[in-house]
């Protein structure tokens, strides 16, 4: 059974019923399930499928293309050798033209960025294939690739022969926590919401990673098996992930590590200092590539006069790898999860979890229909006032602001006199420091709720608990 992807499946099926040719581009990070989605939805319509070879030469890609043509259509009328992609696509056109279709045909080309190298002339020939044959026939040409930035720049936003030719673009995102819960349940994994959350904070909602989760194990056992054992399947995933997506992957990893160095995020100038990559077009392109691919998230700190973006590492697995796996050998995760470093990681990761599921927080607060933006807030102290930091701010267009305190604790949060005073001062300082005239609401976002007492009743205006994210 397919989990999630409801909107994408509906659109893809609509393309099968349209009366004209469709060029569908599906983009999304590696391991997110693009190939599976296309094969599952179009399994009865695909008449030709070609998958690129990672790091394959032009000759290897062409030979592989011919092999797939012969494997699909038989050796008759398929040349034994072609010199370029134009000849390869002419052979495909000949083969497709000999089919008497019973239903709308789908031609599927997977991992397009691996095929279309700088000197391959693939895109030029692909444009010829679309303009001269595919666009004149009632077919769907589906293409996908994990290098999201490449797909957008070279295909979706192409200014050459494929300009405005893509008829539909779908952005495939990782599963939400609720979709992750449903996916695991469908596979017989009996995790409760807390266990799903803790797995999500380590691996994210990446279907490929989730498929590796075995039955009958706890979350620490799963992470041990997937990440720390001698032949753990995700032990080398960090390097493979970036190498598969980006040329000069070492520079991208340097930026990833720079953004990881401060959990609240870093500015582009700080990235320059931390990564050693000079400021300029190359760095800007790397940061943009990582953001559009979903590895970095940029936020504008609330009230930042300089309007200086901060970039934070938001890919769960990358954070987990850099925190616990890099340069560590034969580590037992059951020892890690008892450490203070693990508790600190949980706090940060739950903040990240809240930002990614902000729609669920707004839904619980009843403000989904109100225009709003979310921020982190941090201001350094000086002689006049103490520094202040707020995990999450929801700035609303109805003259209200939710000041959110995010806590990942095993037991219900207790607001005693000292902590209550601290929260009250935080609200007062925020109002004074920012000069806002909006009404402030204190919102507590916790794993296990709040223990009701006198201080809680006077301070807290709204509450979000873990179960709210799964509704």
CATH of domain 361-470: 3.40.1350.10
Furthest CA-CA distance within the chain: 84
Please, where in the chain does CATH 3.40.1350.10 lie?
361-470
Report the percentage of the chain scoring pLDDT > 90.
Answer: 69
pLDDT for 435 beyond 70: yes
Contact 66, 79 (CB under 8 A): yes
User: What confidence score (pLDDT) does residue 387 get?
Assistant: 67
Rounded to the nearest integer, the mean pLDDT of the chain is 91
Domain with CATH 3.40.50.300 in the chain: 6-171
- Residue ranges matching CATH 1.10.10.10 in the chain: 238-324
Does residue 330 register a pLDDT over 60?
A: no
Encode pLDDT of 384-412 as tens digits: 666 678 889 999 999 999 999 999 998 99
Q: In whole angstroms, how large is the CA radius of gyration of the chain?
A: 25
Measure the CA–CA gap between 448 and 467, rounded to whole angstroms.
9
d(CA 180, CA 117): 35
Quote the CA–CA distance of 171 and 293 in Å, as a whole number.
10
Question: Structure tokens of 56?
Answer: 């394959």
Q: What percent of the chain has pLDDT over 70?
A: 96
* Structure-block tokens of residue 240: 């493979």
CATH number of 238-324: 1.10.10.10
pLDDT band at residue 102, thresholds of 50, 70 and 90? confident
Residues 6+ apart with CB under 8 A from 269: 279
Q: Which of 222, 182, 204, 220 is nearest to 357 (CA)?
A: 204
80 burial class (0-12, 13-18, 19+ CB within 10 angstroms)? exposed
Q: What is the dihedral sign for C-alpha 262, 249, 115, 48?
A: negative
pTM value surpassing 0.95: no
SS3 per-residue string spanning the chain: CCCCCHHHHHHHHHHHHCCCCEEEEEECCCCCCHHHHHHHHCCCCEEEEEECCCCCCHHHHHHHHHHHHHHHHCCCCCCCCCCCHHHHHHHHHHHHHCCCCCCCEEEEEECHHHHCCCCCCHHHHHHHHHHHCHHHCCEEEEEEECCHHHHHHHHHCCCCCCCCCCCEEEECCCCCHHHHHHHHHHCCCCCCHHHHHHHHHHHCCCHHHHHCCCCCCCHHHHHHHHHHCCCCCCCCHHHHHHHHHCCCHHHHHHHHHHHHCCCCCECHHHHHHHHCCCCCHHHHHHHHHHHHCCCEEEECCCCCCCCCCEEEECCHHHHHHHHHHCCCCCCCHHHHCCCHHHHHHHHHHHHHHHHHCHHHHHHHHCCCCCCEEEEEEEECCCCCCCCEEEEEEEEECCCEEEEEEEECCCCCEECCHHHHHHHHHHHHHHHHHHCCCCEEEEEEEECCCEECCHHHHHHCCEEEEHHHHHC
Residue 379 has pLDDT above 80, yes or no: no
The per-residue pLDDT for 1 is 67
Q: Write out the CATH class of domain 6-171.
A: alpha beta
Q: What is the pLDDT of residues 12-41, one digit of tens each?
A: 999 999 999 999 999 998 899 999 999 999
Q: How far lies 127's CA from each of 7, 98, 414, in Å?
A: 28, 21, 63
More confident residue, 363 or 415: 363
**pLDDT(207) > 90:** yes
Q: Mean pLDDT, to the nearest integer, of 324-335?
A: 78
């Amino acid at each position: 059974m397919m989990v999630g992807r409801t909107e994408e499946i509906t659109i893809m099926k609509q393309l099968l019923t349209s009366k004209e040719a469709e060029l569908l581009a599906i983009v999304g990070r590696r391991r997110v399930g693009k190939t599976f989605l296309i094969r599952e939805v179009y399994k009865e319509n695909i008449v030709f499928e070609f998958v690129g070879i990672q790091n394959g030469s032009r000759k290897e890609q062409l030979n592989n293309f011919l092999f797939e043509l012969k494997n699909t259509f038989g050796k008759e009328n398929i040349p034994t050798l072609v010199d370029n992609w134009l000849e390869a696509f002419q052979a495909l056109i000949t083969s497709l033209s000999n089919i008497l279709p019973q239903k709308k045909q789908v031609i599927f080309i997977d991992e397009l960025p691996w095929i279309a190298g700088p000197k391959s002339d693939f895109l030029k020939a692909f444009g010829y294939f679309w303009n001269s044959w595919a666009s004149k026939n009632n077919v769907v040409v589906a293409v996908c690739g994990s290098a999201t930035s490449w797909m957008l720049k070279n295909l979706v936003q192409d200014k050459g022969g494929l300009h405005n030719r893509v008829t539909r673009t779908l952005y495939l995102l990782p599963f939400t926590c609720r979709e992750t819960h449903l996916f695991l349940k469908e596979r017989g994994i009996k995790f409760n919401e807390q266990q799903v959350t803790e797995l999500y904070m380590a691996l994210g909602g990446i279907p490929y990673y989730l498929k590796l989760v075995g039955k009958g194990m706890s979350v620490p056992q799963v992470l041990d098996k997937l990440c720390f054992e001698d032949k753990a399947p995700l032990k080398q995933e960090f390097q493979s992930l970036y190498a598969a997506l980006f040329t000069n992957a070492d520079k991208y990893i340097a930026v990833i590590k720079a953004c990881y160095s401060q959990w609240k995020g870093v500015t582009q100038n700080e990235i320059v200092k931390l990564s050693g990559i000079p400021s300029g077009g190359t760095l800007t392109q790397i940061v943009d590539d990582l953001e559009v691919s979903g590895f970095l998230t940029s936020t504008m700190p609330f009230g930042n006069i300089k309007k200086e973006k901060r970039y934070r590492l938001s890919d769960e697995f990358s954070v987990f790898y850099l925190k616990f796996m890099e340069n560590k050998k034969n580590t037992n995760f059951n020892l890690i999860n008892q450490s203070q470093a693990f508790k600190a990681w949980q706090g940060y990761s739950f903040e990240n979890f809240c930002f990614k599921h902000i729609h669920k927080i707004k839904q619980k607060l009843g403000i989904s229909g109100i225009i709003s933006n979310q921020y982190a807030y941090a201001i350094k102290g000086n002689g006049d006032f103490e520094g202040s930091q707020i995990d999450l701010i929801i700035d609303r267009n109805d003259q209200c602001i939710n000041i959110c305190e995010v806590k990942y604790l095993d037991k219900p949060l207790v607001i005693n006199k000292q902590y209550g005073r601290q929260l009250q001062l935080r609200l007062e300082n925020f109002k004074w420091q920012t000069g806002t005239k909006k009404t402030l609401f204190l919102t507590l976002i916790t794993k296990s709720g709040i223990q009701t007492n006198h201080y809680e009743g006077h301070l807290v205006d709204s509450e979000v608990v873990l179960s709210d994210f799964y509704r």
